[in-house]
Structure 1
Amino acid sequence: MTSSTSPTDPTQPLRRESGAFAMLAVDQREALRLMFAGDVAANSDGSVPAEVLAAVPDSTLTDFKLKATKILSPYASAVLMDRQFVWDAAMEQGVVAAGCAPIIAADQFVPGNGEVVTAQIIDEGVDFVAAKAQGAVAAKLLVIYREDESAQERVDMVVDFIGRCTAANLISIIEPVCKAPRHGGEWDWNAGVHAAAHELGSLGADLYKAEVPLKGLGTDAELLEECIRLGNAIASPWVVLSSGVAADDFPRAVEIACQGGASGFLAGRAVWRACVDAPDVVASLEADAVPRLQRLVEIVDRVVGNR
Structure 2
Amino acid sequence: MNTLTTIERRAMQAISTDSGRMLIVAADQRNGMKAAIKDAPNGSDAISREELAEAKADLVRHLANHAPAILLDPEVALPAIVDDGVLSRGTALVVGLDASGFETVDGLKHTRFVPGVTPRTARELGGDAAKMLWYTRPDRQGLDSRVAGEIRDLVAECEAEGLLLIVELLTYQLEGESDEDYAAAFPQLVADGAALAVACGAKVLKLQYPGSAEGVSAVTAAAQGVPWAVLSAGVDHETFIEQIRVAMAGGAAGAMAGRSLWKDSLSISADTREQLLTERALPRLRELAAVVDAR
Fold shared by both chains (TM-score > 0.5): yes
Q: In the alignment, residue 204 of structure 1 is paired with which amino acid?
A: G
- C-alpha separation between the residues in 2 aligned to 1:19 and 1:134? 25
The match for 2:190 among 169, 193, 204 is: 193
Matched ranges for 1:1-307 at <5 A: 9=9, 11-36=12-37, 54-111=45-102, 119-146=110-137, 150-151=141-142, 152-185=145-178, 186-187=181-182, 188-214=185-211, 223-235=212-224, 236-277=226-267, 280-303=272-295
- C-alpha separation between the residues in 2 aligned to 1:73 and 1:53? 23
Distance 1:285 1:145, change over 3 A: same
Identity %: 26
Contact 1:148 1:182 (8 Å CA) reproduced: no
Q: C-alpha deviations, 1:157-193, integer Å up to 9, x for none? A: 1111112211211101011001111454442333322
DSSP-derived class of the 2:19 partner: coil
- C-alpha separation between the residues in 2 aligned to 1:87 and 1:269? 20
Q: C-alpha deviations, 1:212-239, integer Å up to 9, x for none? A: 112xxxxxxxx22221111110131111
Deviation, structure 1 residue 112: 6.7
Of 289-298 and 102-111, the range deviating more from structure 2: 102-111
Distance 1:147 1:301, change over 3 A: closer
- C-alpha separation between the residues in 2 aligned to 1:147 and 1:181? 12
DSSP-derived class of the 2:75 partner: coil
- Which segments of 5 or more consecutive residues in structure 1 lack a partner in the other structure? 39-50, 215-222
Contact 2:7 2:163 (8 Å CA) reproduced: no
- C-alpha separation between the residues in 1 aligned to 2:223 and 2:251? 10
- Report the RMSD for the aligned CA atoms in angstroms: 2.5
- Provide TM-score, normalisation by structure 2: 0.84
- Which segments of 5 or more consecutive residues in structure 2 lack a partner in the other structure? none
Q: C-alpha deviations, 1:122-161, integer Å up to 9, x for none? A: 3342132243133211000101113575441110111111
